[in-house]
């Protein structure tokens, strides 16, 4: 027997105008691939009992019903699929964007209400999301008293968002709830595409050609203005085989003004033969490839000087990519999720690099192109049998995933090579605890078995949190090694050809980094003082009030100045930083940690604390009261970690007691309590 889900799928297949792939069915039903196949098997069994042919399975296309079967059931099933299918909010927004772009009537809220059978408030919320989505493409949603809603902006961007939603929500378009294009036009264009494949001796990815055929059909049958091309690009495109064949086969089918646009799409799909055409931007593309490799190396400290295959593959990829991006053409990478899963660290680093590349080229790069580029880097590392040193971490928040998004974003921005395996609530920690190096948590975790791997942070990372994370996850060359590299270069530079200097510097740096585990091991063996050894009666000051926040910083630092742990310029640097960057040292209400870098005048490790009875306002901000001003100074990035961790624990767990202290002895009792 067919259950509701199976009946539903059968109706989808009856209504669909062309083949549905298994992943289409998964998305439409909201089920796993296994469940989708199970429903397909049950429908086949049902059709057999009715004396009808089974579902038609076509390699690379998908599944459809035999025409006889469709005709038989179409007479019996009166409900259209649009009456049955319940669209998700994202699917509604996609359809709404396409409807507005392809409008042949006034599109207003009432029209969209009737289209989806939803309330006015639902459509209003959709339009809010729609505006945000269009903003990513530098497009605007406007309302005209005659036309209704219209989407305004550059034609390249209008087509870009059109292509995006055709590709991403192709399974929804197959239900034909709205006549975006003429079926006969689509059939003609699809046939021409097959002929182009034969003449160009290229086999395109089936879904890419299918989506391109839909795109051209929509542009042909609706109100889209031609794209304006640069003169240099016109010459390049017209010299291609793609343009000549487009002109040959599309004459009389679509306007001549669209030949260039179709040809550049076909050139963009030439993933493996981009070397066959010459581009006037060749030097620029080489510069971009060098930029990609150099930025990736800066983050990972892995260099690719001898991997000509990586350079070549990125060159060919960027050669066809740049033309696409210029004109808003983005192709889906069906292996995207698989690549992100297989190369998580490489993908995250590539995303960071591509964010910088966006600024350089001035065009957005979406995750599909990021995954293509990540694939090239991942393959190179595999060839060289090299690995990115990274940590796997678990995020733990009070409400699990929902409250962890901000922290996740900040950590991935700070440490692109880190692999965050998941974000969970406290109840789910046990499931992952044996598979991660560290657990970053916004709530206390008391499990002794994992306590040494827990890093507790605030719900919004403050400067102390970030500093602590940098000490653990940040890779760097220590100052002695940096000086060593500079001394070596100074001695050998006269003997190196000028164009080889950069390469030699990188090779020396790589060798130094390869020795870094030994250096880190020695640092780890250095004893890190506890908080109670640093925060003593001599380094604690109690005072009623001070006139200014600058006075508070100077008074807090006084014990460290007197012990020659820091120089006066260290305090001056902190004050200058606050003037320049704002009250960043204020880490919580009533608490600030005054700190600068080791090179700003630190001689010895030290912590001092000033407790005020009346608050002073940091940077003269009413929302930044400070009663506890702590001065922290460390000569390197490691030795203060134990004391800092204990200090953070005291500020989170004993802040109320600290604020209520009336003597040094009260404070020292707390210090002793948290120095364990």
CATH of the domain at 50: 1.10.10.10
Series of mean pLDDT values for 10-residue runs along the chain (676 residues): 68 75 75 78 85 81 81 55 63 92 88 88 91 88 91 92 87 75 89 91 79 92 90 89 93 93 85 55 89 85 80 87 82 77 82 87 84 90 77 73 62 74 79 84 82 81 78 54 67 77 66 43 51 93 94 96 92 88 80 86 91 92 90 77 79 87 93 86
Domain end residue (candidates: 270, 294, 315): 270
The number of C-alpha atoms within 13 Å of 175 and in the hemisphere containing its C-beta is: 24
**Both 514 and 552 in a single domain?**
no
Residues 198 and 298 in one domain: no
Surface-to-core class of residue 212, CB atoms within 10 Å of its CB (0-12 exposed, 13-18 middle, 19+ buried): buried
Per-residue model confidence (pLDDT) at position 513: 47
Give how many domains the chain has, as a whole number: 7
The answer to whether residues 556 and 668 belong to one domain is yes
Are 585 and 614 contained in the same domain? yes
Give me the catalytic one of 57, 595, 603, 604.
595
pLDDT given for residue 479 in this prediction: 41
Calpha distance 670→676 (Å, rounded): 11
Domain boundary among 31, 49, 83: 83
Q: What is the pLDDT of residue 617?
A: 92
3-state SS assignment for residue 351: helix
| Segments forming the whole domain that contains residue 233 | 183-270
Asked whether residue 169 is assigned to any structural domain, the reply reads no
Rounded CA-CA distance 49/2 in Å is 12
Residue 93 CA to residue 165 CA, distance in Å, equals 10
Based on the fold, state whether residues 297 and 402 are members of the same structural domain: no
458/586 Cα distance (integer angstroms): 13
229/327 same-domain check: no
Looking at the domain assignment, is residue 369 inside a domain?
A: yes
Residue 116 lies in a domain: yes
Look at residue 638 in the predicted model and tell me its pLDDT. 62
Q: Are residues 377 and 413 in the same domain?
A: no
DSSP state of 419: E
Same domain, residue pair 535 and 593: yes
Residue 450 lies in a domain: yes
Q: How far apart are CA 31 and CA 23, in angstroms?
A: 10
Last residue of a domain, one of 209, 244, 270: 270
In a domain, 276, yes or no: no
Domain membership of residue 645 (yes or no) is yes
Q: pLDDT tens digits, residue range 330-387? A: 777 777 877 887 777 788 889 889 988 988 888 778 888 899 899 999 888 888 887 7
Same domain for 91 and 75, yes or no, is no
Per-residue pLDDT tens digits for 633-643: 888 756 777 78
- How much is the pTM? 0.52
* Whether residue 484 sits in one domain with residue 457: no
Residue 163 inside a domain? The answer is: no
Residues 220 and 337 in one domain: no
Q: What is the CATH number of the domain that holds 596?
A: 3.40.930.10
> Catalytic residue at 387?
no
Determine how many CB atoms are found less than 10 A away from the CB of residue 216. Answer: 25
| 438 DSSP 8-state letter | E
Whether the CB-CB separation of 87 and 128 falls below 8 Å is answered with no
- Asked if residue 376 belongs to a domain, the reply is yes
633 and 558 in a common domain:
yes
């Amino acid at each position: 027997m067919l259950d509701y889900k199976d009946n539903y799928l059968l109706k989808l297949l009856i209504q669909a105008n062309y083949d549905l792939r298994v992943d289409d069915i998964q998305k439409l039903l909201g089920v796993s691939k296994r469940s989708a196949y199970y429903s397909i098997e049950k429908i086949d069994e049902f059709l057999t009992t009715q004396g009808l042919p089974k579902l038609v399975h076509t390699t690379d296309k998908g599944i459809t019903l035999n025409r006889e079967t469709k005709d038989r059931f179409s007479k019996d099933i009166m409900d259209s699929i649009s009456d049955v299918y319940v669209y998700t909010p994202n699917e509604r927004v996609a359809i709404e964007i396409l409807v507005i772009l392809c409008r042949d009537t006034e599109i207003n809220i009432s029209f969209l209400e009737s289209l989806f059978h939803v309330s006015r408030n639902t459509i209003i919320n959709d339009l809010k999301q729609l505006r945000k989505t269009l903003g990513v493409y530098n497009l605007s949603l406007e309302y005209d008293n005659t036309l209704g809603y219209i989407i305004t902006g550059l034609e390249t961007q209008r087509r870009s968002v059109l292509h995006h939603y055709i590709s991403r929500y192709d399974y929804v378009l197959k239900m034909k709830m709205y006549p975006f294009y003429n079926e006969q036009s689509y059939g003609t264009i699809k046939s021409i595409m097959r002929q182009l494949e034969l003449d160009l001796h290229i086999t395109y990815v089936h879904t890419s050609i299918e989506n391109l055929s839909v795109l051209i059909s929509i542009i042909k049958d609706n109100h889209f203005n031609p794209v304006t091309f640069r003169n240099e690009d016109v010459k390049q495109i017209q010299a291609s085989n793609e343009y000549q064949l487009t002109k040959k086969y599309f004459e009389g089918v679509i306007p001549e003004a669209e030949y260039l646009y179709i040809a550049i799409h076909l050139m963009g799909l030439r993933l493996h033969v981009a070397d066959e055409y010459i581009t006037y931007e060749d030097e620029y593309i080489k510069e971009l490839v060098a930029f990609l490799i150099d930025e990736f190396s800066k983050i990972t400290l892995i260099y690719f000087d001898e991997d000509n295959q990586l350079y070549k593959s990125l060159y060919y990829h960027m050669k066809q990519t740049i033309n696409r991006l210029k004109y808003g053409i983005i192709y889906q990478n069906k292996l995207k999720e698989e690549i992100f899963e297989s190369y998580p660290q490489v993908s995250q680093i590539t995303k960071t690099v591509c964010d910088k590349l966006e600024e350089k080229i001035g065009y957005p790069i979406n995750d599909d192109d990021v995954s293509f580029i990540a694939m090239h880097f991942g393959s190179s590392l595999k060839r060289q049998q090299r690995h990115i040193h990274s940590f796997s971490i678990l995020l733990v928040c009070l409400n699990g995933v929902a409250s962890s998004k901000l922290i996740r974003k900040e950590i991935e921005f700070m440490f692109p090579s880190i692999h965050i395996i998941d974000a969970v609530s406290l109840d789910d920690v046990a499931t992952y605890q044996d598979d991660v190096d560290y657990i970053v948590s916004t709530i206390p975790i008391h499990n002794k078995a994992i306590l040494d791997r827990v890093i507790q942070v605030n719900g919004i990372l403050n400067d102390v949190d970030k500093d602590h994370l940098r000490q653990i996850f940040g890779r760097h060359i220590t100052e002695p090694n940096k000086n060593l590299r500079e001394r070596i270069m100074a001695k050998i530079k006269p003997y190196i050809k000028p164009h080889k200097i950069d390469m030699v510097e990188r090779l020396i740096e790589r060798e130094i980094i390869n020795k870094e585990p030994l250096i880190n091991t020695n640092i780890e063996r250095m004893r890190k003082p506890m908080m109670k050894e640093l925060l003593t009666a001599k380094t604690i000051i109690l005072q009623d009030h001070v006139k200014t926040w600058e006075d508070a910083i100077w008074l807090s630092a006084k014990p460290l100045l007197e012990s020659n742990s820091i120089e006066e310029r260290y305090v001056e640097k902190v004050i200058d930083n606050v003037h320049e960057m704002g009250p960043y040292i204020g880490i919580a209400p009533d608490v600030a940690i005054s700190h600068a870098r080791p090179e700003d005048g630190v001689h010895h490790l030290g912590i001092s604390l000033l407790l005020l009875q009346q608050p002073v306002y940091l940077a003269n901000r009413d929302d930044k009261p400070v009663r506890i001003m702590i001065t922290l100074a460390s000569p390197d990035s490691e030795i203060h970690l134990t004391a800092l961790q204990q200090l953070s624990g005291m500020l989170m767990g004993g802040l109320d007691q600290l604020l209520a202290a009336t003597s040094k002895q009260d404070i020292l009792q707390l210090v002793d309590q948290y120095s364990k």
